[in-house]
Every structure is written in structure tokens, then in C-alpha cells.
Amino acid sequence: MSRETFMRELEYLLQDIGEEEKSDALAYYRDYLDEAGPENEEKVLREFGSPERVAAMIRASISGNMEEGGEFTETGYGDERFRDPGYEVQKRQTGPNGTETDSGQKTEAEKGERGPQDDVRGGNAGKPADSGMNRTLKIVLWAVLIIVAAPVVFSVGGGVLSVAAGIAFTILVIFFCVALGAVACLIGGIAAMVGGGVYLFADGVTGALFIGAGLVAVGLGLLLLVLSVWFYGKLVPAIFRKILDGCNRLVHRGRSRA
């Protein structure tokens, strides 16, 4: 079996696992074959076995079941899940220095490093733990930040709200007094004009003075009335609309982010 055929069948057999694990596994076996070189490619593929066997071992390493299912026999350690025709369990032999070795040929990577399945399993094993640790660390940092910043935020926010409420209350009181002044000027001006008209026949100068004062009071009352109508009829509703629009923007922005 050629390298291209092996990798193509292996990629097809790994369609049911996660895309990240699949990419890592395929990249590892490509690099493994590249390091072996074209002259050792056939030998390495023979040591891998069939693509079905390699795919089964990758799935087992991802699910954490790599250590289950095997047994020791007279010919060595074997796992029936990964057996395929033509792939024999290697026998254990005693080497010249008294150490046990496998009867099959080994590549340099197998002599000094972990096997490909161990690397695939080791590369994927730490990722969920790392992501969970990072998530926990973020939650802890946010909790500490909220606890530390809460007194400052509440004190500054409370002071700002108190000042704003005081200013708004003062403005409302002033314009309430303006409205009362408008009503008083209108009533007093009309009363002065009526009284001046009565005194006009008895004392012309006094009657004319009362009528003039009444006209001034009525004019001032009309001016204050216009100012009150503008404040209560246009300015106050506009301020409330701005506040409601700001609250709606904050609510919609929070929902869009969520």
C-alpha cells in the first residue's frame, strides 16, 4: 500500500471524530512518514498495519480506552480490537545484553521516542483540562475584580446620582415657583385693572396707576406662563424621552452581546 492510499483511507475512516483530533492525527502520521523518508516508507507503513487498525487505535486513544481490551498471551501482548489479517503480535525475544526486544523491526522513533498513538493521545489529553482551568481562572479573576471595585463604583455612582437628583429637584422647584408666580401675576394684574377702573371715576390718577400696574402684572404673568408651558410641556417630556432611549439602548446592547 502506498503512502497516498494509506493516508486517504485513514482520513476517510476518521470522519466520525472531531475535526481538531482528526487534523492532529493526520498531521502526526504525515510528519512521521516524512521523517522516515521515502526509503523507509514501505517498512513504516507495514509496521503501522492497516488504516482500519490505526483509526481504531486513534479512536481508543481519544476516548481514553487505550489501556482496555488487551491481554497477555504466549506470544506477547495483543488487543483483538486492533487485529487485522496480516498483522501478527510481535514475540518477545531476549537480546544479547539480556534485555527483551520485539522480533519485528523498529524505526528510530520507536527506539527512542513514544509511539505515534501515545503522541496523539498525549497531545489531546491536556486540552480539555487546560480549557477548564482557564475558564475557572477567569471566573475567579472576575469575582475578585467585582469584590474590589464594588465599593468604589457604588460610592462614586451614589455621589453622582445624588448630585444629579439634587440639581433636577432644584430645577423642578424653581419652575414650579415660576408657574405659581405666573398665576399670581395674572390674578393680581386682572384685579388691579378692575380696581383701577373703579377708582378711575373717583380719582383719575390713582385709577390710571392701578390700571398700568395691572397691565404690567398681566404681561409678566403671560411671560412666566409661556416659560412654564415650555418647561413642563416640551423640556420635561424631552428629558424623559432621552432617559428612556438611553435605557432601551443599554438593554438592547446587553441582549445583543448575550
Q: In the chain, where does DSSP find H-type helix?
A: 3-13, 19-36, 41-48, 51-63, 108-112, 116-202, 204-230, 236-257
Gap between the Cα atoms of 85 and 98, Å rounded: 32
pLDDT above 70 covers what percent of the chain? 71
Judge contact between 3 and 45, C-beta under 8 A: yes
Give the contacts of 59 (CB within 8 A, at least 6 positions apart): 14, 17
Dihedral (Cα; 11, 17, 19, 24), 10-degree rounding: -70
Residue with cell 423642578: 172
135, pLDDT greater than 70: yes
32, pLDDT greater than 60: yes
With b meaning 16 or more CB within 10 Å and e meaning fewer, what string describes 35-57? ebeeeeeeebbebbbbbebbbbb
Residues 189-211 have pLDDT tens digits of 999 889 888 888 888 888 889 88
Gap between the Cα atoms of 24 and 21, Å rounded: 5
101, pLDDT greater than 90: no
Residues 144-168 have pLDDT tens digits of 888 888 787 777 877 888 888 888 8
Phi and psi at residue 94, to the nearest 5°: -95, 125
Residues 52-73 have pLDDT tens digits of 888 888 888 887 654 444 443 4
Cα Rg, the chain, nearest whole Å: 46
Query: Residue 192 has which C-alpha cell?
Result: 388691579
Q: What is the identity of the amino acid at 1?
A: M
Residue with cell 486492533: 82
What is the full DSSP assignment across 163-214?
Answer: HHHHHHHHHHHHHHHHHHHHHHHHHHHHHHHHHHHHHHHH-HHHHHHHHHHH
Task: Identify the DSSP state of 90.
Answer: P
